[in-house]
Structure 1
Amino acid sequence: MNTNVNYYISAFDKNGKRLASNILNNARDDKEIKKNSESLKKIDGVEVIEVVTAEDYIAYLNGKIRDTTTGKPVDPPEPVISAEETRAIKANAIAGNYSSQIAELKDAMITAQLSGDTDLAKSLTEEYKATMDAYTKELEELK
């Protein structure tokens, strides 16, 4: 991304996420920097306000965060997934594996019952129970 702007003044939160930026016409003009800083200070959560190059600004637009040590753009840390979230993800995957099979069995059971085929309905009911037992067992193994 090309820009005709050389410098921006940006506000960052405590985690280095860019909250807002303003264009600077002159990065050496203390009055302009002070005026822009005052407007950025009004934003909730601002911890750091600093002048950044256009190159750094573009990096922030592309998902980088401000490193609290160097002040330079870096990749954000990988999200930490809790054990509970991991179990929920696995439970959803298990549910996805069984949902179509369970739906098909239910439809087949209804069709068999409506058509009066008691032997098929009984067989499908047993298959449904076995499938639900396997599904429940897999979910319980997550605990």
Structure 2
Amino acid sequence: MFDIGWSELLIIAAVAIIFVGPKDLPRMMRTIGRYVTKVRSMAREFQSSFEDLARETELDELRKEVTGLRDAATAPLKKLQQEIDKPVKIGGGGAGAAAAAAASEARAAEIAAGEPPETDEISPEMQEALREAKAVEAFGVSDPGRDDK
């Protein structure tokens, strides 16, 4: 580190003995040892904090990469969920049009048979549509979009 050889160490020891004296030399060496220990511990702490910072930076990059991969993997599922959640018009096509039409026909058959439809699991919008269908039947029109005249 400092490239100090044995000859330089002997010169430093001789100068220390001359200026400090042999009596105070052990106390001075202990003090120097304490300072060296403090400097080494500070250097070790600095190095460990620097390594922690590097790890955190790598972890942040990894988190961003994982988030990007997760978003890319779930994007088709989100689009599918949006398609499923779209309202379906009966007769208007779409993935659930046939199922909705069959359910509507089953409810219409229940109404025609005089049985009250089960409204426990029907959404408020569907209940409103049933009320409108009853009102249309009361006027004698079978399909509100078609004129029977």
When normalised by structure 2's length, the TM-score is 0.24
TM-score (structure 1 length as normaliser): 0.25
Structure in which a larger fraction of residues adopt helix = 2
- Structure number with the higher strand fraction is 1
